[in-house]
Structure 1
Amino acid sequence: MPTSQKPYLRVDVAGLHACKQEVMEFVSYLKNPQKYQALGAKLPKGALLLGPPGTGKTLLVKALANEAEVPFFSMAGPEFVEVVGGLGALRLRQLFKVARSHSPAIIFIDELDSLGRRRNSGDQR
């Protein structure tokens, strides 16, 4: 296959009907931003997907990126938690810098709750 051709990939997510409707609004905006900008609408900068492990959050976001034909960047929250102070924040800044250079793009941070933990007195500062 020539490098200029891109195979058509589609992720068909079964179930999650209400979630898919919400996600398809993002897809519509990412594909036709002029239509929404003419109405004065702005795309949210983020969305929070809640649910127990294994309910399809990651699959849904991958499908969103694929349907909208935008780059998808994914990292897990624990990858940003470091013993050396500032290293996790640096990784987070680098992730957003790369995503901005490929804008519009989707950043998915799994296990986000691990980022906001409180420091103990013995932790590095």
Structure 2
Amino acid sequence: MQLVDIMQNPSRYRRLGARQPKGLLLVGPPGTGKTLLARVIAARLKLPFFFASGSDFVEMFVGRGAARVRELFARAEKAAPCVIFLDELDALGKSRGSGMQIVRNDEGEQTLNQLLACMDGIDTQGNGIVIIAATNRYDILDDALTRPGRFDRVVRVPLPDKEGREKVLRVHAKTTRLSSSVNLARIAENTEGFSPAELSSIINEAAIMAATKNAESVTQADLEEALRSYKVSRGKAGLFGLGK
């Protein structure tokens, strides 16, 4: 919300010497909605949204990955102001290792160096380009990439608590025909440690089960059966008390 305000009302901040954050790094487990957050920021700003995954830049041929980074930033400069979103940043920005590292990946280093150079070339006072990236492996990112001046903000995107899980379930249940007896708070209570993506999957699986039985709506029994099956298939039964 603060980033959106800074980009929409830059004079409010510039009068005190503040500058727009160059990069925003979203860190959290898979499925917590990091990509969705980036899209929401771009939508609130009403700006073009450039999406790229870190794996898109991993190439066998030396120089090709760096060229793709240059192409991405060149397109963004033409469309500025805009938002660049880099998913799976760990695939692109892994630490270059210590001095004891003997075997070095020249292509990976060239690509990372090109990204660093492109980020340094962003003018935070004028062109209105902001970079948002996401990773679930912050610990392996290169220090030169995560330092302030490149990624000025690190935002933790954690797994939701019970109240958050219930809200997520209600969002995904809006397009599902639920029985009046369904108690989503009970499902939220029994899904500790679940990501929003997993909660969405449970709602969908319950709807599939109900449709298979030609039911008129999704019942509490369908939701609990979908949850039970998910815990077994993902090895979470012992962690969350499947027998209860």
Counterpart in 1 of 2:35? 58
Counterpart in 2 of 1:38? 15
CA distance in 2, matches of 1:56, 1:99: 24
CA distance in 1, matches of 2:18, 2:103: 46
Q: CA deviation at 1:61?
A: 0.6
**1:25-66 C-alpha deviation (Å, 9 max, x unpaired):** 111111111221122110111011001111000000100000
What pairs up with 1:1-125 in 2 under 5 angstroms?
24-117=1-94, 121=103
CA distance in 2, matches of 1:103, 1:27: 15
**Aligned with 2:23: secondary structure?**
coil
Given residue 83 of structure 2, which amino acid in structure 1 is its aligned partner?
A: I
CA distance in 2, matches of 1:76, 1:63: 18
Moved more, 36-45 or 49-58: 36-45
Moved more, 80-89 or 36-45: 36-45
Structure 1: gaps of 5 or more residues: 1-23
CA root-mean-square deviation = 2.1
**Structure 1 residues 73 and 120: alpha-carbon distance in aligned structure 2, compared to 1, 3 A threshold:** farther
TM-score (norm 2): 0.39
**Structure 1 residues 96 and 122: alpha-carbon distance in aligned structure 2, compared to 1, 3 A threshold:** closer
**Aligned with 1:79: secondary structure?**
helix
CA distance in 1, matches of 2:44, 2:90: 27
**Structure 1 residues 122 and 27: alpha-carbon distance in aligned structure 2, compared to 1, 3 A threshold:** closer
CA distance in 1, matches of 2:60, 2:71: 18
Percent identity of equivalent pairs: 48
Structure 2: gaps of 5 or more residues: 108-244
Q: CA deviation at 1:71?
A: 1.2
Aligned residues: 102
